[in-house]
C-alpha cells in the first residue's frame, strides 16, 4: 500500500492551487454575488491541460491517472464548487463515458476536442419528473431511417447554456423500462434543440445550470452511444465517474472550511483567549480534520480501483456519500465558528454552506447512497459486469 502522491500528482496539485489562488479566489465573491459564470476559467483550465487530465494522450488528454482527476477536483473546489462542477460534468460524466462506451469515430469527433478543452461536454439525464427515479423519464427517441427523432426536455443540467456537446438519455422503448433507455450525443445548434438557464439558485451561483429542450431533434444513428436499451447502464457507469469527482470536490470544500476556520480561530478572541482554545470549538475543528482525511482516503481508494480497471460502484458511492455529508457538516460548523460574521459574505464560509448542499442532492441524493450502501451490506445488491470497462491506467498506447 502506497499512500504517497507521485511527483506528477504533486506538480498538478501545485498548478491547480496556484491557479485557484491567483485566478479564482480574488474574483469569486463578486461572481457569486452577480450569479456570473466566467467562461475564461474553462479556457484557462484547457490551457493548463486540465479539461482532459485523465484522458489518454491519443485522444487529446494529458494521460494522467484517475486520482490526478480527483486532485484537480479537490483543489478546484477549494476555490469554488462552480468550476469543479464544470470539470465533473465535462470530464467525469461526459468525456470518460465516451472513452468507455464511444465508437472510435465518436472518440475522434467528440472526445478529442473535449479532452483538449476546445469543446465543452454536458450530461442530460434528469427530467422534471425523473431525478432519483431515472426510469420515470419521458424524453423519447423514435427511429426514422438513419436517424432518431428526439422529443422531450431535461432539467437541472450543469453547463446547459455553455456546453457544445450533450450526452442525453431517452426512451427508445418505454415498455422495457430501464432496458428501453438509449444514450445519444446531441450538438448545440441542431434544429429543434434549445437551452435555458435556471435562475435563483441557493448555491453554485458562479456556475451555469439550466434546461434542455428537444423539439423533433434529428440525431444521426452514428451519434447513438452503445446499443439501443443500453442507456441506463451507460448512465450508471457515467455516474461512477461523476460521483468520484463530486466526492473529491467535497474534500476541497472541507479543506476550505478548515482553512478559513483555523484562521478565524487564531484571530477572534472571547473571554480573554483565541476561540481556538475553547474545547467545543476544537471539537468542530477536529471533526473537519478527521473527515477531510477519511474522505480523501475513500476517494483515493475508488481512484485506485479505477486505475486497476476494477469495478468501483460500491466504493465510489461510499466516497461520494461520506465526503458530501462531511462537507455539508464542515460548512455548517465553519459558519458556526465564525459566529455572526459567518452569516454574511464578508467571509467565504456562507458561500461554502450554500454550495455544499447541491452535492448532497446531485449524482445520487444522500438517501439514494444510504440505500445503496445498506443493500450492498445486506447482500441485496450485486453489480453485474459491464460490456465495456473504463480503461485501466497506465493507458495502452
Ligand atoms: C445544482 C445542480 C446541478 C445538477 N446537474 C445535473 C446535471 O448536470 N445532469 C443531470 O442529469 N442532473 C443534474 N442535476 C439533477 C440531480 O442529479 C437530481 O436533482 C437528483 O438526482 C435528485 O433528483 P430530484 O431533484 O428529482 O429529487 P427526487 O428524486 O424527486 O427526490 C426528492 C427527495 O426524495 C428522496 N427520495 C427519492 N427517492 C427515494 C427513495 N427511494 N428512498 C428514500 N428517499 C428517496 C430524495 O433523496 C430527495 O430527498 C443537478 C442538480 C442540481 C441541484
Cell of 103: 465508437
| Binding site membership of 208 for ligand 1 (Cβ less than 6 Å) | no
Residue 196 CA to residue 203 CA, distance in Å, equals 18
Peptide bond into 251 cis (omega under 30): no
Asked if 316 and 244 count as a contact pair (C-beta separation under 8 A), the reply is yes
Of 362, 368, 371, 381, best ligand 1 pocket probe by most atoms within 8 Å of the beta carbon? 362
User: Which atom of ligand 1 is nearest the CA belonging to 207?
Assistant: 1
Which residues carry out catalysis? 363
User: Which atom of ligand 1 is nearest the CA belonging to 129?
Assistant: 26
Calculate the CA dihedral of residues 243, 246, 251, 256 and round it to 10 degrees.
Answer: -170
| Binding site membership of 204 for ligand 1 (Cβ less than 6 Å) | yes
Cell 469543446 -> residue: 119
Based on DSSP, count helices (H) and strands (E) in the chain, helices before strands: 13, 10
Residue 261 CA to residue 255 CA, distance in Å, equals 10
Asked if 351 and 32 count as a contact pair (C-beta separation under 8 A), the reply is yes
| Binding site membership of 125 for ligand 1 (Cβ less than 6 Å) | yes
DSSP codes of every residue in 281-325: HHHHHHHHHHHHHHHHHHHHHHHHHHHHT---HHHHHHHHHHHHH
Residue 199 CA to residue 144 CA, distance in Å, equals 36
Residue 80 CA to residue 363 CA, distance in Å, equals 18
| Distance between Cα 184 and ligand 1 center (Å) | 21
pLDDT of 397: 79
Q: Characterize the bridge pairing of strands 181-187 and 209-220.
A: unpaired
44 φ, ψ to 5°? Answer: -65, -40
| Binding site membership of 171 for ligand 1 (Cβ less than 6 Å) | no
Nearest CA to ligand 1 atom 6: 157
| Binding site membership of 195 for ligand 1 (Cβ less than 6 Å) | no
Nearest CA to ligand 1 atom 30: 131
Residue 288 CA to residue 183 CA, distance in Å, equals 40
Nearest CA to ligand 1 atom 43: 367
Sign of CA dihedral 96, 40, 356, 260: positive
Q: What is the mean pLDDT of each run of 10 residues along the chain (397 residues)?
A: 95 98 98 97 98 98 98 98 98 98 98 98 98 98 98 98 98 98 99 98 98 98 98 98 99 99 98 98 99 98 98 98 99 98 97 98 98 98 93 95
Nearest CA to ligand 1 atom 48: 365
Of 35, 122, 132, best ligand 1 pocket probe by most atoms within 8 Å of the beta carbon? 132
pLDDT of 42: 98
| Distance between Cα 269 and ligand 1 center (Å) | 42
Cell of 156: 437541472
Residue 237 CA to residue 110 CA, distance in Å, equals 19
Q: Crossing angle for the helix pair 231-267 and 349-361, nearest 10 degrees? A: 160
Sign of CA dihedral 225, 228, 231, 237: negative
Sorted by sequence, the CB contacts under 8 Å of residue 28 that are 6+ apart come out as 79, 80, 206, 348, 351
| Binding site membership of 362 for ligand 1 (Cβ less than 6 Å) | yes
Residue 234 CA to residue 242 CA, distance in Å, equals 12
pLDDT of 113: 98
How many other C-beta atoms can be found within 10 angstroms of the C-beta atom of residue 315? 22
| Binding site membership of 209 for ligand 1 (Cβ less than 6 Å) | yes
Residue 277 CA to residue 266 CA, distance in Å, equals 9
Q: Which parts of the chain fold into alpha helices (H)? A: 7-19, 28-34, 39-47, 66-79, 81-87, 96-101, 104-106, 112-115, 231-267, 279-308, 313-337, 349-361, 366-378
Sign of CA dihedral 180, 158, 121, 386: negative
- 182 secondary structure, DSSP code: E
| Binding site membership of 361 for ligand 1 (Cβ less than 6 Å) | yes
Cell 441524493 -> residue: 365
Amino acid at each position: 500500500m502506497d499512500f504517497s502522491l507521485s511527483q506528477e500528482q504533486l506538480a498538478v496539485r501545485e498548478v491547480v492551487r496556484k491557479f485557484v489562488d491567483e485566478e479564482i479566489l480574488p474574483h469569486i465573491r463578486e461572481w457569486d454575488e452577480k450569479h456570473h459564470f466566467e467562461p475564461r476559467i474553462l479556457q484557462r483550465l484547457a490551457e493548463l491541460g486540465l479539461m482532459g487530465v485523465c484522458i489518454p494522450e491519443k485522444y487529446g488528454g494529458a494521460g494522467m491517472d484517475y486520482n490526478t482527476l480527483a486532485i484537480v477536483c479537490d483543489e478546484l473546489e477549494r476555490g469554488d464548487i462552480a468550476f469543479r462542477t464544470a470539470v465533473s460534468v465535462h470530464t467525469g460524466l461526459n468525456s470518460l463515458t465516451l472513452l468507455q462506451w464511444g465508437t472510435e469515430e465518436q472518440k475522434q469527433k467528440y472526445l478529442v476536442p473535449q479532452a483538449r478543452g476546445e469543446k465543452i461536454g454536458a450530461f442530460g439525464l434528469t427530467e422534471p419528473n425523473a431525478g432519483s427515479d431515472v426510469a420515470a423519464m419521458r424524453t423519447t427517441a423514435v427511429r426514422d431511417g438513419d436517424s432518431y427523432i428526439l422529443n422531450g426536455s431535461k432539467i437541472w443540467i450543469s453547463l446547459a447554456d455553455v456546453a457544445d456537446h450533450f450526452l442525453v438519455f431517452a426512451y427508445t422503448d418505454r415498455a422495457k423500462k430501464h432496458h428501453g433507455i438509449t444514450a445519444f450525443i446531441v450538438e448545440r445548434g441542431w434544429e429543434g434543440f434549445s437551452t435555458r438557464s435556471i435562475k435563483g439558485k441557493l448555491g453554485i451561483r458562479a456556475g451555469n445550470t439550466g434546461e434542455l429542450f428537444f423539439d423533433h431533434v434529428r440525431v444521426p444513428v452514428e451519434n447513438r452511444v452503445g446499443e439501443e436499451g443500453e442507456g441506463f447502464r451507460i448512465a450508471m457507469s457515467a455516474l461512477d465517474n461523476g460521483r468520484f469527482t463530486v466526492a473529491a470536490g467535497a474534500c476541497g470544500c472541507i479543506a476550505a472550511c478548515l482553512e478559513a476556520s483555523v484562521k478565524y480561530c487564531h484571530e477572534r478572541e472571547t473571554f480573554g483567549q483565541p476561540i481556538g482554545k475553547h474545547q467545543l470549538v476544537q471539537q468542530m475543528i477536529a471533526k473537519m480534520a478527521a473527515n477531510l482525511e477519511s474522505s480523501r482516503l475513500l476517494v483515493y481508494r475508488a481512484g485506485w480501483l479505477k486505475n486497476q480497471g476494477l469495478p468501483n460502484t460500491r466504493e465510489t458511492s461510499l466516497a461520494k456519500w461520506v465526503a458530501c455529508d462531511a462537507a455539508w457538516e464542515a460548512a455548517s460548523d465553519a459558519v458556526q465558528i465564525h459566529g455572526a460574521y459567518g452569516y454574511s459574505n464578508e467571509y467565504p464560509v456562507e458561500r461554502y454552506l450554500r454550495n455544499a448542499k447541491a452535492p448532497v442532492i446531485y449524482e445520487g441524493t444522500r438517501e439514494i447512497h444510504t440505500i445503496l450502501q445498506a443493500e450492498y451490506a445486506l447482500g441485496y445488491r450485486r453489480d453485474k459486469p459491464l460490456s465495456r470497462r473504463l480503461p485501466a491506467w497506465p493507458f495502452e498506447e
